[in-house]
Amino acid sequence: MNSIFAVAVGGAIGATGRYLFNLQMLRLLGPNFPWGTFGVNVIGSFIMGLVAGLFAFRLDLSPEMRSFITTGILGGFTTFSAFSLDAANMIERGQHALAAAYIGGSVALGIAGLFFGLWIARVTFPA
């Protein structure tokens, strides 16, 4: 299986799962807290850890199948799981300062980037 095709198909599966999970959480718990996003981030990170451990210790899968599962399905479900795995890898390698910079920078700059994008949209396309 071609790696790009594997990622694309897995991404469609993961994104559909995220969408359905978000709808279900909204229906069950209401709109006062982003339970869907919170849930997919936690669940996706747990599954990424489980899958990474299985790949390392038990399963010998092709690079395409690994990409299908991790980058595709889990990446489509939540990119937070990939972020969590990257941070965990840095911490396990003893790169604590780098991990802290990555975690803090990703969160702070990600939110700042969102607000900057909103600002540009508001200035460019005023109501």
Q: Is residue 114 assigned to a domain?
A: no
Q: Is residue 44 assigned to a domain?
A: yes
Q: Is residue 70 assigned to a domain?
A: yes
- Give how many domains the chain has, as a whole number: 1
Q: pLDDT tens digit string along 45-95? A: 899 989 988 988 888 899 999 999 999 999 999 888 889 989 999 999 999
Q: pLDDT tens digit string along 2-12? A: 999 999 999 99
* Structural domain span for residue 33: 3-77
Q: pLDDT tens digit string along 94-123? A: 999 999 999 999 999 989 988 998 999 899
| C-alpha triplet 69, 64, 44: angle, nearest 5° | 15
Q: Is residue 24 assigned to a domain?
A: yes
User: Does pTM top 0.85 for this prediction?
Assistant: no
Whole-number pLDDT of residue 1: 60
Q: Is residue 97 assigned to a domain?
A: no
User: Is 28 in contact with 14 (CB distance < 8 Å)?
Assistant: no
